[in-house]
Amino acid sequence: MLKAAHENRTLALSFIIVGFETIRKTEIFLFFLFLCMYIVTMAAHILIIGLVILDHQLHKPMYMFLANFSVAEIFYISTTMPKMLDALLTRNKEISYSGCIAQFYGFFSFGATEHCFLVVMGYDRYVAICHPLHYYSMMAKKISHGLAIGAWTGGLLAAAAPALWVSSLNFCYPNLIDHFFCDYAPLLKLSCEDTSKGEFTFTVISWSVILGCFLLTLVSYAFIIFSVLKIPSVEGQKKAFSTCASHIIVVSIFDGTVIFMYIRPTSNIRFTIDKVVSIFYSTVTPLLNPIIYCLRNKDVKNALYKGLQWFGI
């Protein structure tokens, strides 16, 4: 273990991710469970990206945003899952200082990117339902590409300041991160310094990104609901709402768990409960999202059927 002396304190230059403290048989079971979930998640998102690229019927802004969202989810789950699987299988729970900071930045930047894309996808549905005659002018190629670039830029920049601040901190022994990845609150518990100012900054950024994106999405759907209620036929209303159902489900699941985790004080946090909740939004949600979108979207299902027929399946 690398150590450095600084102001009569022993500073940690690597960390031990505690993860799930349980018997060996349970660790092996969890390894195979999470491995299967990771493989299925990666395959599902790669399938969506492939369908959007190859099927011309999916060359629309809505599906371009969906493909970008899948790319973000692949990076998002890949920042934590490989190390967690390695720790469960080999019990090698050590992670380097630079590796921990990179994981911290990757997890929060790609998570923020997903939030941004959920806003963009909500806006796309708003334009499609509230301004159908002007959809292709309001969501022209240049505009939709600009929205996608903006979502990526916003997400990647949002986590930059917290990551730089965390990387400037000194961390003391014991160097045990009571989580299965380098999350914000358990990492700060190891700091030798006063982190109150940095915590305030992180809270402001968290509120701005998470709640800001959530509220913008709610505004889009407020206009959508107002517009749909004007449709005279019940059948027309159901059809309009069905086009938004997948997005609403994903926003509810993802934002609900993330708001619980990060829009709250970091003191007196029970990390045991947080591990369970974190598994849900970091592992289960990326698995459910492609299933939700595929099962409830006729265009994606038709593209999948055509692809299977092309392969003779």
| CA 17 to each of CA 87, 163, 175, 176: distance values in angstroms, whole numbers, following the listed order | 8, 18, 9, 6
Q: Please provide the average confidence, as pLDDT, over all residues in the chain.
A: 84
Expressed as residue numbers, the domain containing 68 is 3-310
What CATH number corresponds to the domain at position 74?
1.20.1070.10
Domains: count for the chain: 1
The larger pLDDT score, comparing residue 254 to residue 128, is at 128
- Residue 46 per-residue DSSP state: H
The whole-number pLDDT of residue 3 equals 41
The larger pLDDT score, comparing residue 302 to residue 121, is at 121
- Tens digits of residue pLDDT in 101-157: 999 999 999 999 999 999 999 999 899 888 888 998 999 999 999 999 999 999 999
The angle formed by the CA atoms of residues 63, 144 and 153, to the nearest 5 degrees, is 100
- Tens digits of residue pLDDT in 212-250: 998 998 898 888 888 888 877 777 777 777 767 777 788
The whole-number pLDDT of residue 5 equals 41
Using the predicted structure, report yes or no on whether residue 269 has a pLDDT greater than 70: no
